[in-house]
Amino acid sequence: MAAFSTDEGDSFSSSTHRGDYDVFLSFRGEDTRHGFTGYLYQALCDKGFKTFIDNKDLQKGEEISAELIKAIKSSMISIIIFSQNYAFSTWCLEELTKFLECKKNGQTVLPVYYKVDPSEVHKQEGSFGLALTTHEKKFENNIEKVLRRRVALYEPASLSGWHYEDGFPEYQFIQGIIRVVC
């Protein structure tokens, strides 16, 4: 089953874009880079959207680089692909906190729940709860950072998005996302 619901009634066009990128894709590389995210990236580019996808060489260390922060801030739309291991990445969670800051300044944030139940993200259960517990142990001296990440995972609950489950053709699912972004 897949849902293509979104409350975003607006249509987005690269001709009205104000920043460096039309779309920024946030994802856990090992989960979706060579499958779903790669296909979504290609479909967005084929439609003429200037799309940011991270380069493996960009990710060095635990802090987001100034280059990546600039790309996030200069994107019109952020698509967050929540997958099974998304929350285990400190990098992904830092990106997520930046997206939600940018949302306050008008950036559109669209969540995609890829083979995960949205309630696991919102309630911080399953792999998301385990990941946050792991971060709490790792960053026990910086509880503020962990709390920011918990809030960042909770906030998408108020956003409309898509839920992909096995059995629905990825191509059709991606086309549903593209229709909303266009």
- Residues with a known catalytic role: 95
Q: Are 80 and 26 in contact (CB under 8 A)?
A: yes
Instruction: Spell out the SS3 assignment of the chain.
Output: CCECCCCCCCCCCHHHCCCCEEEEEECCHHHHCCCHHHHHHHHHHHCCCCEECCCHHHCCCCCCCHHHHHHHHCEEEEEEEECCCHHHCHHHHHHHHHHHHHHCCCCEEEEEEECCCHHHHHHCCHHHHHHHHHHHHHCCCCHHHHHHHHHHHHHHHHCCCEEECCCCCHHHHHHHHHHHHC
Structure tokens at 9: 């009634």
